[in-house]
Amino acid sequence: MHLVACSESPLEQEVDFLVLGIHSEEGVAGPMLEVDHELGGALRRLWENGDFSGKSMEAQLLALPGLMKARFLLLVGLGPKDERSDERVMKVAAMAAKKMGDQGGRKAAFYFGSGNVAAGICGAFIGGHGQDLCRTESSLHPLAELRWHGGSDEDCQQGRDLGESVNLTRRLVNLPPNHIYPESVAREMQQLADEVGLGIEIWDEDRLVEENCQALLAVARGSVRKPRLVILNYKGGAEDQAPVALVGKGVTFDSGGYSLKPSDGMKDMKCDMAGAATVIGAMRAIALRKPQVNVIGLVGLVENLVSGDAYKLGDVLKSRNGKTIEILNTDAEGRVVLADVLDVAVERGADRIVDLATLTGACLVALGMDVAGIMTNHADWCQSIQNAAAQTGEQVWELPMFPEFGEQVQSKVADIKNVGNGRWGGAITAAKFLEEFVRETPWVHIDIAGPAYLDSEKAWIDAGGSGAFVRTLVQLVENCASEAKA
């Protein structure tokens, strides 16, 4: 997409679409006045007749007469001005781009007033990309050219970097499992590291054996696709500064193993690597934005399939940190993979860890499809993540980590077991399992099972991978950099 900041009058824009963002209490104002005058008061009549009110996510498409350079006018509602935010502007811009995306090659000029420019541009990138990556003819197309009125070149670049990074995460989640598997994700990460200047380590099966990652290796045994553990390294702070660790679950396909999922529960399990994809997208944006802090991104990549060598119910595994794990459900595999990856993060000297995983259906039951559950061993670090999520508009809710939940993952035949006692509190017992592998390091677990993958499209985004929490992770790291400076 060709992207430029512009200062011209809307009457001078020779584009396919002129997009005017209108606040609900302003009426015909700002750039809308110029267009209304050119149209002989048509927009004012639209407003006065109640055909367009400027409420959030409202849209009205009008064909323009030949006396204007633009072909169409798209009015979009930004809602009340005092509720304007990055999240609101991002979603409205995404909705506009999605509405214009039924054909390729289109040019658009956006007039959204002052502020939130990078967020709006990020949204315009998100709205024009969909899940139809394997169709011969796409049904959703990105804009060929985007002009944003009132933005700086820096705003444009920041918006592009973030939008493309969110779309990278979405693409990785949306690609089918015969395209995305541990080795192919590792290759994608190598290419990304080369492009944006990240350090990278790729641990193959031999290295995983050397590193005693027996829990991760056990989950991977059922597949002919060999596992990988990949570490991305961003050095923005002092050489001796402890890094922030971002950890992602990367189960590139999850059949459930011997605890086999039914077909309806398995068909979308390409999305079970969304935690890893989120870390990858965030690390790309971090490398491009260059905050002054050190960050490592770690992802454990496996397929969980069934074969004569697949791990079984009743198996006892020895994890990298020495704790033994009794397997009572092979479909509770993500936490087993993360056990070893979290231990690597601790060993690498991370002073704060956040992991992301499509971990439990229980979190969907508790919080629905749009809210991620967060669980922690450290109140201040958890508050930092809540603050970052609030800044981006992504929704999280803290679940309690009472000791009684930890008692449920104690095993009679090993140190711990990989499920709790029955269905109740399953998101929390999963987190209590993970807590066993972070030692005393401040840590937050984000269960993104709901928001990471959309079963149906929304006004502003196609169905499939959503790229949820890429923006929150980037904001979190930038906040950490600001705190380090202070």
d(CA 21, CA 67): 22
d(CA 439, CA 339): 11
d(CA 146, CA 128): 11
d(CA 302, CA 218): 10
Residue with tokens 């409420």: 55
Instruction: Name the catalytic one among 91, 98, 335, 352.
Output: 335
Structure tokens at 174: 């949306």
The 3-state DSSP class for residue 438 equals coil
State the DSSP H helix or E strand holding residue 149, giving kind and residue range, or none if neither: strand 145-149
User: Within 322-425, where are the H helices?
Assistant: 334-347, 361-367, 379-392, 403-407
261 catalytic? Reply is yes
335 catalytic? Reply is yes
Q: Which residues fall within 8 angstroms of residue 326, CB to CB, at 6 or more apart?
A: 314, 315, 316, 411, 413, 414, 416, 417, 418
Instruction: Name the catalytic one among 69, 235, 261, 318.
Output: 261
Residue with tokens 């050119």: 38
d(CA 455, CA 458): 10
d(CA 157, CA 143): 16
Contacts of residues 254-257 at CB distance under 8 Å and 24 or more positions apart, as own/partner, are 254/303, 254/304, 254/331, 254/333, 254/334, 255/304, 255/305, 255/306, 256/304, 256/330, 256/331, 257/219, 257/222, 257/304, 257/305, 257/306, 257/310, 257/311, 257/330, 257/331, 257/333
Question: Cα dist. 313→137, 181, 221 in Å?
Answer: 45, 24, 14
State the DSSP H helix or E strand holding residue 122, giving kind and residue range, or none if neither: helix 117-127
d(CA 117, CA 102): 24
The catalytic residue positions are 261, 335
